[in-house]
Amino acid sequence: MNELEQKMAEREQNNGFMRHNYIEMESVERDRAVFRLTIRPESKNPYGMVHGGAIYTLADNATGVAAHTDGRYYVTQTSALHFLRNQSEGTVRANAWVRHRGRSTVLTAVDITGQDGRLIATGEFTFFCVDKSVMDAKVEQKA
């Protein structure tokens, strides 16, 4: 595991929502991240397919980590995710990359592929850069 992967893995240990949804980071490098979701009964909608919210959560986490690879702190500002097909079993992967970095925002893109490599969803997420000390203070207030 390289230094960036180690740093992002430590950050993700505090992401209870990601763990709750059985999402795992596979790899990370500067401006890129790959995440996976192994479909479980809890991941499925009433039709037996992976829930759109699970796919969105996978995409948001992968793009967020790609954004964070510059060492700054971000929150999701906007997103658009286009669902193209679905699957009921196996693993889905999110391949995320940074398309543009500005002073206060980062534009990322993501492709979600199924076990067969076919595109399930595609989208873009914009992240807003936040001051780490402000976010730390919010965490301390809740403790």
Of 43, 1, 6, the residue nearest 22 (C-alpha)? 43
Average pLDDT over residues 68-95: 96
Question: pTM for this structure?
Answer: 0.88
Sequence-ordered strand ranges (E) for 52-132: 73-83, 91-101, 105-113, 119-130
Min mean pLDDT across 1-5, 35-39, 117-121, 127-131 is at 1-5
User: How buried is 31 (Cβ within 10 angstroms: 0-12 exposed, 13-18 middle, 19+ buried)?
Assistant: middle
pLDDT-wise least confident of 45-54, 78-87, 108-117, 125-134: 125-134
pLDDT in tens, 112-131: 999 999 999 999 999 999 98
Amino acid at 116: D
